[in-house]
Structure 1
Amino acid sequence: MIRFSANLSMLFLEVPELERPAAARRAGFDAVEVQFPYDHEAARWRDALHAAGVELALCNVPAGDLMAGGQGLAAVPGREAAFREAVAQAAKVAQVLRPRNVNVLAGCPGPEHDRERCLDTLAGNLAHAAQVLGDLGMGVVTEAVNTVDRPRYLIDTTRAALDVIDRAGHPNLRIQYDLYHMQIMEGDLIRSLRTHCARIGHIQFADTPGRHEPGTGEIHFPNVFAALDELPYDGFVGAEYVPTGRTEDTLAWMAGRRR
């Protein structure tokens, strides 16, 4: 049976951030994700997670200016030192919060940068993150992101994500497979999940169009979830969507699927 995690950067926004782990637990989740858990002391996050009885499935390495529309850090030549500082910050927090995986966002290098050089930069940075965080017992993942929502995003297909971790050549690297992004970019979700299961470290989902909860768009989630049930995938499947109402009112897709 699938183990679901709730992305607290998008769900349960009705309550303050440090109260969201408890809200997620009451809703039936036994794990959560936080995109960037750096605005509070790590100990406060740790206490909130422990009090709620949930584990942290995933967080991201700080991504510089990416979330504000910039190029990010991980794939931009010349920003390697800033990326290493970001990994050090993530490692410090991860030692306290013990996430299962830490995600590296490739980012959107500008047209002034050669693509091959960007891929080499990303590969080197991924290998560094994989070593540092692997020494602490955490996996490192990177994800393909659709270029409709994020124009110029460097890694935009499953194949591209696999190729860059192959280029990095570190055993502590897998892909994060996001159903929402990959439905937009390539479709054929079930076959892709079956084909690449062994190389997937984390899965996320939202329906499309709209990036809302399952049942609001074109993805047939009952079939996708049934396929995941049959796969030897031992990670979490993260709900990372924009709720169309109160989060608790958008969880019909979880009916009968709580572990």
Structure 2
Amino acid sequence: MNRRSFVKNNVLTATALGMGTGLWARSSGTTAAADKPFNLDYAPHDGMFANSAGKDFLDQIKYMYERGFRSIEDNGMTSRTPEMQTKIGEALAKLGMHMGVFVLPKGGNGANTLATKKQEHIDIFLDGCRKSVETAKRCGGKLTTVVPGDFDRRLPLDIQTANVVEALRKGAAILEPHGIVMVLEPLSDTPDLFLRTSAQTYAICKAVNSPSCKILYDIYHMQKNEGNLITNMGLAWEEIGYVQIGDNPGRKEPTTGEINYKNVFKWLHEKGYKGILGMEHGISQPGKAGEDRLIAAYRESDAFM
């Protein structure tokens, strides 16, 4: 699955739902209190507020700031021109906002796999690390998403794990001098993917043994793969470097599925989490009304104090 296409398609093709709820009613106001910063650092992405702020990502970033958000994430940052990367970095710096994750070039899903120890795949990964250093300098980012690829079912699992660890150590050696962290993301998209659980990813991070190799805990994927979210986050806590959001089922904003995000956010706050929470999900309603409801859902879920 192409991660950028997923998010874009979910935003553009969201189906209409009824709006006669208390949540919607609370979203229609524009008081100063509604625009205060959130208790946690939620990060929208490009296109999430295109109906409210226009298609220009820089205008969207300003709108995000006005609505209380203090970070963004942009999976496709490395595919943008260097000039645009610089403009985004400058806009964030001017507003006092932060850059969340961008996906390591050629580092997504089954595009290449590190489990086989094939040199061509390792070279692709390491080249992506080098390119990420340059991208990070321009946009001000310090986090890049890495997915080690698919299983190689011809090899014993422990051998595959050792191959992945060895490759990641080489990547960390490139990133660490620049203070850049690759966050490894276990996914639920397909059972062919090598990384599937937080415990597996925790063990790999411990083996890599670098501050530049941590866990990206995507709550949507982990609800599907392992559940017991708060307990499992607690077990892997010292290796979690980034969190992403999406309700299940549907991968839309909080309050649209089964996850009690208010409790999850409260737990993260009580743990002292100061990092970014990427809003890697679609929107349940179309148009500006859907974007207003999105903000209202985050206001409701963020009201845990």
> Smaller-chain TM-score range?
0.7 to 0.9
Structure ID, larger Rg: 2
User: Does the 8 Å contact 1:63/1:73 carry over to 2?
Assistant: no
- The equivalent of 1:59 in structure 2 is 102
Contiguous gaps of at least 5 residues in structure 1: none
Per the alignment, in what secondary structure is the counterpart of residue 77 of structure 2? coil
Which has the larger share of strand? Answer: 1
Give matches, 1:78-93, under 5 Å: 78=118, 79-93=121-135
- The equivalent of 1:131 in structure 2 is 173
Shift of 1:217: 0.7
1:190 partnered with 2:198: no
Distance 1:248 1:76 in 2: 46
Distance 1:118 1:49 in 2: 37
- The equivalent of 2:295 in structure 1 is 251
Which has the larger share of helix? Answer: 2
Shift of 1:216: 0.9
Distance 1:137 1:13 in 2: 32
- The equivalent of 2:87 in structure 1 is 47
- The equivalent of 2:244 in structure 1 is 204
Shift of 1:5: 1.4
Tell me how large the CA RMSD over aligned residues is.
2.4
* Residue of 121, 135, 138 corresponding to 2:163: 121
Distance 2:199 2:84 in 1: 38
Per-residue CA deviation, residues 30-69 of structure 1 (Å, 9 max, x unaligned), is: 11111121222233123134325232121121135x46xx
- The equivalent of 2:40 in structure 1 is 2
Per-residue CA deviation, residues 62-103 of structure 1 (Å, 9 max, x unaligned), is: 135x46xx4434444311111111111111111222213222
Q: How many residue pairs were aligned?
A: 252
Shift of 1:117: 3.6
* Residue of 257, 263, 267 corresponding to 1:217: 257
Distance 1:218 1:206 in 2: 11
User: Does the 8 Å contact 1:5/1:29 carry over to 2?
Assistant: yes
TM, length-normalised to structure 2:
0.74
Shift of 1:11: 2.8
TM, length-normalised to structure 1:
0.86
Distance 1:255 1:35 in 2: 24
Q: Which amino acid aligns with 1:63?
A: K
Distance 1:158 1:222, change over 3 A: same
Distance 1:111 1:247, change over 3 A: farther
Per-residue CA deviation, residues 95-151 of structure 1 (Å, 9 max, x unaligned), is: 2222132221122245445533432232122222222222112222112112xx223
Contiguous gaps of at least 5 residues in structure 2: 1-38
